[in-house]
């Protein structure tokens, strides 16, 4: 009986390792294809954006979360529901700006970098930049234009990984041309 | 914990990313497939190492193939291979009637010509897994009607 239980948690861990390893292979391939780190960062952000615009639908279908009334609620949902659902971690929310339009997500451990070390010649590579793109893409689909960027990264020697999220504006629905 | 949806989306993005940066033409198509297959190979190697850390030694080749069909496939794709056939001379055919990476694409003949792009990574995955278990192989895939597909594994005797 206990062997069965072991298998269950093991397979959960394995599927998260599948994602981690696949992401690693992707970043490695991108580093080979593009000569400089800036291009890789841009490409990761773009890919993340494409994933985000689709992931939000999956998220809303699974989580049954209603519309968020303000940015604080959005932050809570991102950290406590979304990150938990997809990456199995719950980042903490800190450093709210006085206007309430910027906050930081602190990730104690980032599952994407589980087996990763950054070599010296890639010091400006933002390894987990896909996450920024995902956040940006997903929130754009719920009418929020945001900017997400890494300000601390355990791969670069910091103690935690910190993503700074900034609310830019609410995206109004554009009526198709010709309709009033 | 990383959801299946996340892996699926990442995989599709990888395929489209690899093809976007390539030009048209047969040669380029082959190169893209190779790139994807190599990525799958590295992942397969790593995955099988983590997965078989505590399992018992495999009795023979067939035992390894059964492991791939049952435990490995279940971990990666949440289901087992539906059918395993072999000629007992080094050729195995793994049939999956509802391949997870193709179910969202079509059920039938639509988009058949694009299916091979989405199978390359998985072929590499199998090849990488076998490689780290000491088996050198060539893995190809064929689809006649989505989402069912067949992976053919040819063991290379050294």
In order of their start, the domains of chain A are: 36-170 (3.30.1380.20)
Which of B7, B10, B23, B34 is best to mutate for the A interface (most A CBs within 10 A)? B10
pLDDT for position B95: 94
What digits encode the pLDDT tens for the residues A14-48?
677 889 999 999 999 999 988 899 999 999 999 99
CB B158, CB B136: distance < 8 Å: yes
What digits encode the pLDDT tens for the residues B96-112?
999 989 988 888 888 88
Strands (E) across chain A are located at 92-94, 102-107, 144-152, 161-170
Smallest CA–CA distance from B4 into chain A, residue: A15
Q: In this predicted model, which residue has the larger pLDDT, B128 or B5? A: B128
pLDDT for position B28: 79
H or E element that contains B152:
strand B148-155
Interior/surface letters A79-114, b for 16+ CB within 10 angstroms, e for the rest:
bebbbebbbeeebebeeeeeeeebbbbbbeebbbbe
Average pLDDT, chain A: 88
Neighbouring-strand partners of residue A53: none
Q: Which residue in the set A24, A29, A55 is minimally distant from B5, CB to CB? A: A55
Residues of A in contact with B6 (CB under 8 A): 19, 51, 55, 86-87
CB A20, CB A109: distance < 8 Å: no
CATH class of the domain comprising B2-153? alpha beta
- Domains of chain B, by residue range, sit at 2-153
- A4 — pLDDT class (breaks 50, 70, 90): very low
Residues 6+ apart with CB under 8 A from B120: B15, B32, B33, B34, B36, B37, B40, B141
Question: In Å, how far are A57, A78, B72 from A64, measured between CA atoms?
Answer: 11, 13, 32
Candidates B60, B111, B110, B107; CA nearest to B88 is B60
Q: Checking DSSP bridges between strand B83-86 and strand A161-170, what pairing results, if any?
A: unpaired
CB B44, CB B127: distance < 8 Å: yes
Residues 6+ apart with CB under 8 A from A178: none
Query: How many Cα atoms within 13 Å fall on the side-chain side of residue B127?
Result: 24
Beta sheet of B83-86, edge-to-edge order: B83-86, B91-96, B148-155, B137-145
Given a cut of 90, whether residue B140 has pLDDT beyond it is: yes
Question: In Å, how far are A8, A122, A145, B137 from A126, measured between CA atoms?
Answer: 33, 9, 21, 36
pLDDT for position A3: 46
For residues B4-11, give the mean pLDDT. Answer: 90
Task: Decide if B6 and A11 are in contact by the 8 Å CB cutoff.
Answer: no
Given a cut of 50, whether residue B1 has pLDDT beyond it is: no
What digits encode the pLDDT tens for the residues A83-101?
999 999 999 999 999 999 9
Given a cut of 60, whether residue B68 has pLDDT beyond it is: yes
pLDDT for position A176: 64
For residues A44-53, give the mean pLDDT. Answer: 95
d(CA A18, CA A61): 24
pLDDT for position A5: 43
Task: Decide if B3 and A17 are in contact by the 8 Å CB cutoff.
Answer: no
Residues of A in contact with B13 (CB under 8 A): 47, 50-51
- B157 — pLDDT class (breaks 50, 70, 90): confident
pLDDT for position A140: 94
CB A93, CB A103: distance < 8 Å: yes
Give the phi and the psi of residue B57 in degrees, each rounded to 5. Answer: -65, 145
- A177 — pLDDT class (breaks 50, 70, 90): low
Residues of B in contact with A42 (CB under 8 A): none
Task: Decide if B42 and A12 are in contact by the 8 Å CB cutoff.
Answer: no
B13 and chain A: CB distance < 8 Å anywhere?
yes
Task: Decide if B75 and A87 are in contact by the 8 Å CB cutoff.
Answer: no
Residues 6+ apart with CB under 8 A from A48: A129, A130, A131, A132, A133, A134, A135, A136, A137
- B24 — pLDDT class (breaks 50, 70, 90): low
pLDDT for position A69: 87
Q: How many residues does chain A have?
A: 180
pLDDT for position A6: 47
Q: How far is A97 from chain B (nearest CA, A)?
A: 31
What digits encode the pLDDT tens for the residues A139-164?
999 999 999 999 999 999 899 999 99
* pTM of the predicted protein model: 0.89
pLDDT for position B57: 87
Q: In this predicted model, which residue has the larger pLDDT, A163 or A13? A: A163
CB A115, CB B46: distance < 8 Å: yes
């Amino acid at each position: 009986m206990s062997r069965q239980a072991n298998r269950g948690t093991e397979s959960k861990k394995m599927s998260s390792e599948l994602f981690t390893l696949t992401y690693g292979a992707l970043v490695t391939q991108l580093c080979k294809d593009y000569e400089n780190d800036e291009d890789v960062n841009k490409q990761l952000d773009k890919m993340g954006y494409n994933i985000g615009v689709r992931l939000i639908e999956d998220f809303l279908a699974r989580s049954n979360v209603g519309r968020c009334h303000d940015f604080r609620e959005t932050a809570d949902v991102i950290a406590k529901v979304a990150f938990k659902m997809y990456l199995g971690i719950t980042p903490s929310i800190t450093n709210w700006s006085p206007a309430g339009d910027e906050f930081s997500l602190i990730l104690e451990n980032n599952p994407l970098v589980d087996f990763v070390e950054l070599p010296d010649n890639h010091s400006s590579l933002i390894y987990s930049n896909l996450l920024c793109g995902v956040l940006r893409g997903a929130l754009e689909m719920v009418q929020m234009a945001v900017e997400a960027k890494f300000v601390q990264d355990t791969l670069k020697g910091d103690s935690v990984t910190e993503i700074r999220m900034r609310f830019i504006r609410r995206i109004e629905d554009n009526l198709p041309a010709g309709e009033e | 914990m990383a959801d299946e949806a996340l892996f699926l989306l990442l995989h599709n993005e990888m395929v489209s990313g690899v093809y976007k940066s390539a030009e048209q033409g047969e040669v380029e198509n082959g190169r893209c497939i190779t790139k994807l297959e190599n990525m799958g190979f590295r992942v397969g190697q790593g995955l099988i190492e983590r997965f078989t850390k505590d399992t018992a030694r495999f009795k023979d080749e067939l035992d390894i193939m059964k492991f791939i069909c049952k435990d490995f496939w279940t971990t990666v794709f949440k289901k087992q291979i539906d059918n395993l056939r072999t000629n007992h001379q080094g050729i195995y055919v793994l049939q999956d009637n509802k391949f997870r990476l193709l179910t969202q694409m079509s059920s039938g003949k639509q988009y058949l010509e694009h299916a091979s792009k989405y199978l390359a990574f998985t072929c590499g995955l199998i090849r990488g897994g076998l490689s780290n278990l000491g088996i050198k192989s060539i893995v190809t895939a064929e689809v006649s009607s989505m989402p069912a597909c067949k992976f053919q594994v040819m063991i290379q005797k050294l």
